Amino acid sequence: MSIDSVIHQVNMHFGRIDILVNNAGLGDNHPAVHVTEEAWDNMMDVNLKGLFFCCQSAGKIMLAQGYGKIINMSSQASSVGIVDHAVYCASKGGVNQLTKVLALEWSAKGVNVNAVGPTFTYTPGNSERLDDPAYLKGVLARIPNRRLAEISDVAGTVIYLASPASDMVTGITLMVDGGWTVQ
């Protein structure tokens, strides 16, 4: 099923689309010299290409109705380099730039576009690395408040950006990183 057909079905079922949260993403860690073209393409397809076409499809509906909130999941890795994460950092940096451009194009027409940039959050997708005491120690040493993000930290930020409280916020990547990117 295509992105356009899913967005169309949601719009037909609910009669409108007010909020889109682009939360699909891949993460992979390899030294840059070992990244294959296939690995590059897979991550860019999910993290950037898929996100763009979801924005475009829902954005057409939101622009026609004169209202919408799009929240793209980025990462702190969009703003800082992380060893062995060249492709991930590049894809999330692209998310930030895309968020800015869409905000410039669509905000005057009632569609706010923002991104959320979480730090390491303990999830099944990264538990293997974070369960390694040495790796976790290295991560926590880079976070000034010395803790991982919790899912509720990220969810609360998404809820804020989806709410009327953020009506004057557009084109930003709101970091939820315990201060990692201010260093």
List active site positions.
88
Residue that is written with structure tokens 């120690």 in the block: 137
Closest CA to 52 of 96, 11, 107: 96
For residue 26, the number of C-alpha atoms closer than 13 Å in the C-beta half-sphere is 18
Residue that is written with structure tokens 């899912």 in the block: 151
- Per DSSP, what are the bridge partners of residue 117? 175
Query: How far is residue 92's CA from residue 145's CA, in Å, rounded to a whole number?
Result: 23
Give the per-residue SS3 of 41-62: HHHHHHHHHHHHHHHHHHHHHH
